[in-house]
Amino acid sequence: MNTNAMPIPSLAQLNIGQTCHINTIELTGLLKRRILDLGLVPGTLVECVRRSPSGNPSAYHVRGTTIALRNEDADFIKVKL
């Protein structure tokens, strides 16, 4: 086992203006279904476009629309930079 492996970044770690592709979604139940229904499926290109003044939630541009996600939920969406 490689203990030096870098953890896979999550959607919540993106900086404003940064883009990525969805790698995996580690949510379960209704929240996972909602995320998938919004178009956040593996392979999808996502851009972080804005953060609220408090830093939570963040807005992401996905498939031609903008959605807001709480950082607690975006932490469970792993991405490829």
Q: How confident is the model at residue 65 (pLDDT cuts 50, 70, 90)?
A: very high
Domain-located, residue 17: yes
**Burial of residue 74 (number of CB atoms within 10 Å: 0-12, 13-18, 19+):** buried
Q: Name the pTM for this structure.
A: 0.88
The Cβ-side half-sphere exposure at 14, using a 13 Å CA radius, reads 32
What would the mean pLDDT of 17-29 be, rounded to a whole number? 96
Per the listing, tokens 């592709």 go with: 21
Residue 54's CATH number: 2.30.30.90
Total number of domains in the chain: 1
Per the listing, tokens 């490689």 go with: 2
| Average pLDDT of the residues of the chain | 92
pLDDT in tens, 32-43: 999 999 999 999
CB count in 10 Å sphere of residue 69: 22
